[in-house]
Structure 1
Amino acid sequence: MPNLPQELVDRIIDQVASEIVEKYREELYSDWKEYEEGEGRELVSVAQCGLVCKTWLPRSRTHLFSTTRLSNDYESGADNINAFLRLLVRSGPISPLSFVQSLDLDLLGGPLNGGDTGRVLNLPMLTSLRIRTPDDKAPSIDEFFSGLTPHIRLLATNSPRLSCFHLDLNTDLPLPFLIHLLFNLPSLQSLTIGKPLGENYDIVNPDSTVPQHGTFPKRLLTLELHLSCGAGLFFAWLLTFAELPIPRSLALSLHLKDRDFPLEASLRPIDEYFRRAGSQLDSLSLALSRNYLDESDYSTVEHLNLERRLLESASRLSALTFAPSDDAWAVPRILGFLPSSKLTALTIVFEEDEEAEFPWGPMDEALSHPKFETLQRFAVEDYWANFKRNVSLLDEEARAAMPLARARGILHSRFSSD
């Protein structure tokens, strides 16, 4: 084969990779298993580019390993960590680790031994890391976080570009580990704790020393917490800082459960944090679920008051997403007490019920208030939007029932420009 200019080689391989990305976008909301099987076939085509000749190999490796998914979930048949470790041994001086920019590390099958963890996390180009923890029934789960602790400290040295971290919980999270993570990853810009959808675990504070001395990541712009009432322990810790850490974007999803600590006492630090920091938030996503609460222990009125206090404190938002803890008919009332702000995007999320009736007319009237004059996008979405093609609940009937908002051109779906 005649030698091609390196620039042309790069463009050819980039085109192959871009076609894979485009296919991913098209199939994102189709059956996941079919997509995974299709992606496997497409990745073979990228690997085959690297077999053409030596000049094709470097660019191929960049695309092949830039986003890497590793798992030891034996039960689902997704175990590929051992094969990846064998590949590292055979790869010679040019390691695949040198190309990994985004790593999805699924440890549902249990913790790795310390040596394997160190080899997998030695990633000089890493910018994004997701770790899925073992579940609370896995062997050695008690040692998982203590075993991972020294590797978090090394990430700051081994992966100086790491800016996004997602700890996907399948068990409760000790507060000392979360603090250790924040103190040892100074370049973090985005941190997600827990699952956006599905069962929510919690922050716990076992009888161990909580680190008090350290620096909160100064560039942390986005913080997402999907937890239960143990989130109050984290906010209580934030309140101990002389200069209160405040991200630009905060997502707080709480599946409230009355567990080992009083519910009201757990929520009080969250209330205080919003009182002090709410007016400095640019973007807020709020969901308070009371599905697990015994209303005899915690009244509906008190719960809704908490929701109201948190939203009223966020007075300078440009973007707000909220899932009302009560039924859909609470939304016009919530819109009524939202403070005057600079809102440009407002999204309301419901867990769709085919028999539910939505107050489209009252919502339309509430949005006509002068305090919403800066609003450019209003969306009403299904809670399970990330797994569906049709995510918007603003069908033609709903749009017809909201003539004022429709005339302003503010009715939108997150995944389209309609």
Structure 2
Amino acid sequence: MRDFPQELIEQVIDCCHTSDPSIPSPDIGTYGLVCTKWVPRSRFHLFSHVRVMAIHRLSTLLDFIANRPSILFYIRHLQVDMGALVIDQGLLERMHHLPNLTSIRLRVVSTWVLPSEPESLFPHLRAWSSHSPSISHLHLDRFILGVPGQFECRDSLILAMLSCVPSVTSLTVGRDIKIFKDATTPVVPLPLQLSELTVVGLDVSHALFSSFIAHPPSSMPHLTFLDLDPPCAVEASAQTYLKRAGHSLRSIRAISLQGWSENTIQLKRLLQHTSTNLTDFAFSCFQPQIPDILSCLPSADWNSITVYIQHSAGRIPWSAIDAELAHERFQHLRKFAVFDFHSHKFLTERTRSLLPAADARGILDLTV
């Protein structure tokens, strides 16, 4: 391939590399050894995700970068892990100049250790933001802020972190975070550009949406994507927010491995306050409940509807599903898919005959 055009070589390397850091891409480190034309794109992916951990790991990384400063330009996703060994603030300052950074993930790797004061991260967040105007995603994961051994975080701290990175459009908060509303904290300005929100846990949902609805509609973010886990996170404050700003939502994901008996009620409550602007909806429920949920969806220009079900929770009512999908509300639907929680598809060449009307329209997602 050394004689192939550079553009084609880069496309091949892009296809071989996965952008998901949770999926290993072991060969990317050897791509640059093929020939010199493979080096630039290989390096682009090899250093795209950087994870900053304890002091000795960070020191080694910085020593490596010191002789190769161009590596800083390849870093697009930065993860900062806080745990038993507190990260040296001075060392972290040497990681400030990341001009192409697009996402920051802050997480705690130990449930027994209280990390340094969260406010100590603010200068770093501001520095990363000033050097990279392209930061769009902030992810807070397993954050322990408060008493050791308790997953607690003041909602004002999350909003303060957001204010440090004004370019953020996507916020993920969850994964074992216990968040509580700051009763004594004044209303904190919200980032109006925030358009995507993922919240994991009822406490997270209540505190964040309570902060949102403390503002007039003109001063609150108008989300286009909302991911709730569990769906029962649609409590009073979330419902109030949806009443005021739910018309902007284009995509909703309401999936959980827990609270199955509550899902149908909560999903209906969620859908009460959405509009015909929705294009994508993914939800989880028991098999018999699928037609009932579909009947609650509004008439819209649907792009996709995806259902996640338990493997052994009764028979799937294919005929009733086919009848619902034939309703005029779904006349524009382009794709319908059914999965279990192991990502196994229930719609196959063998089962497509169970949905004859939907199959005739070509909307069944049969891809593996």
Corresponding residue for 1:282? 250
Cα pair distance change 1:338/1:96, threshold 3 Å: same
Corresponding residue for 1:68? 49
Q: Read off the aligned partner of 1:113 and give its amino acid letter.
A: D
Q: For 1:283 and 1:101, how far apart are their aligned partners in 2?
A: 25
Corresponding residue for 1:392? 345
Corresponding residue for 2:266? 306
Spell out, residue by residue over 1:269-326, the C-alpha distance to the aligned partner (whole angstroms, 9 max, x if none): 012112222232111112356549xxxxxxx67x7433312112212211111112xx
1:321 aligns with 2:282: yes
Task: With the length of structure 1 as denominator, give the TM-score of the two structures.
Answer: 0.73
1:401 aligns with 2:354: yes
1:174 aligns with 2:154: yes
2:320 to 362, 368, 374: 362
After superposing the two structures, state which structure 1 stretch, 150-159 or 175-184, moved more.
150-159
Cα pair distance change 1:337/1:59, threshold 3 Å: closer
Q: For 1:166 and 1:372, how far apart are their aligned partners in 2?
A: 34
1:126 aligns with 2:101: yes
CA contact (8 A) 2:142 2:177 kept: yes
Corresponding residue for 2:187? 212
2:307 to 348, 352, 372: 348
Corresponding residue for 2:147? none
Alignment of 1:1-400 (within 5 A): 12=6, 18-24=11-17, 35-36=24-25, 38-39=26-27, 42-46=28-32, 59=40, 63=44, 66-72=47-53, 80-91=57-68, 94-107=69-82, 110-137=85-112, 139-141=113-115, 143-169=116-142, 171=144, 172=151, 173-195=153-175, 200-205=176-181, 210=185, 212-214=187-189, 216-242=190-216, 243=218, 244-254=220-230, 267-287=235-255, 290-291=258-259, 304-316=264-276, 317-324=278-285, 327-353=286-312, 356-385=314-343, 391-400=344-353
Corresponding residue for 1:4? none
Q: For 1:73 and 1:113, how far apart are their aligned partners in 2?
A: 8
Cα pair distance change 1:286/1:69, threshold 3 Å: same
Cα pair distance change 1:368/1:306, threshold 3 Å: same
CA contact (8 A) 1:229 1:255 kept: no
CA contact (8 A) 1:288 1:307 kept: no
Cα pair distance change 1:337/1:130, threshold 3 Å: same
Structure 2, unmatched stretches of 5+, are 145-150
Aligned length: 357
Spell out, residue by residue over 1:325-362, the C-alpha distance to the aligned partner (whole angstroms, 9 max, x if none): xx221111111122223323111112433x64212121
CA contact (8 A) 1:61 1:99 kept: no
Q: For 2:363 and 2:38, how far apart are their aligned partners in 1?
A: 49
After superposing the two structures, state which structure 1 stretch, 227-236 or 82-91, moved more.
82-91
Cα pair distance change 1:71/1:305, threshold 3 Å: same
CA contact (8 A) 1:321 1:347 kept: yes
CA contact (8 A) 2:196 2:225 kept: yes
Alignment partner of 1:313: what SS? coil
Spell out, residue by residue over 1:150-185, the C-alpha distance to the aligned partner (whole angstroms, 9 max, x if none): 322333212222122222335434312210122222
CA contact (8 A) 2:29 2:42 kept: no
Structure 1, unmatched stretches of 5+, are 1-7, 257-262, 293-299, 386-390
Q: For 2:239 and 2:100, how far apart are their aligned partners in 1?
A: 39
Task: With the length of structure 2 as denominator, give the TM-score of the two structures.
Answer: 0.82
Q: Read off the aligned partner of 2:164 and give its amino acid letter.
A: N
Corresponding residue for 1:295? none
Q: For 1:311 and 1:255, how far apart are their aligned partners in 2?
A: 11
Aligned-pair CA distance for 1:57: 11
Aligned-pair CA distance for 1:45: 3.9
Spell out, residue by residue over 1:219-246, the C-alpha distance to the aligned partner (whole angstroms, 9 max, x if none): 3232222223331111010001222321
Aligned-pair CA distance for 1:381: 1.7
Alignment partner of 1:364: what SS? helix
Taking every aligned residue pair, what percent have the same amino acid on both sides? 23
Spell out, residue by residue over 1:29-84, the C-alpha distance to the aligned partner (whole angstroms, 9 max, x if none): xx95xx45x33xx31442786xx6xxx8994785265503325379xxxx843321
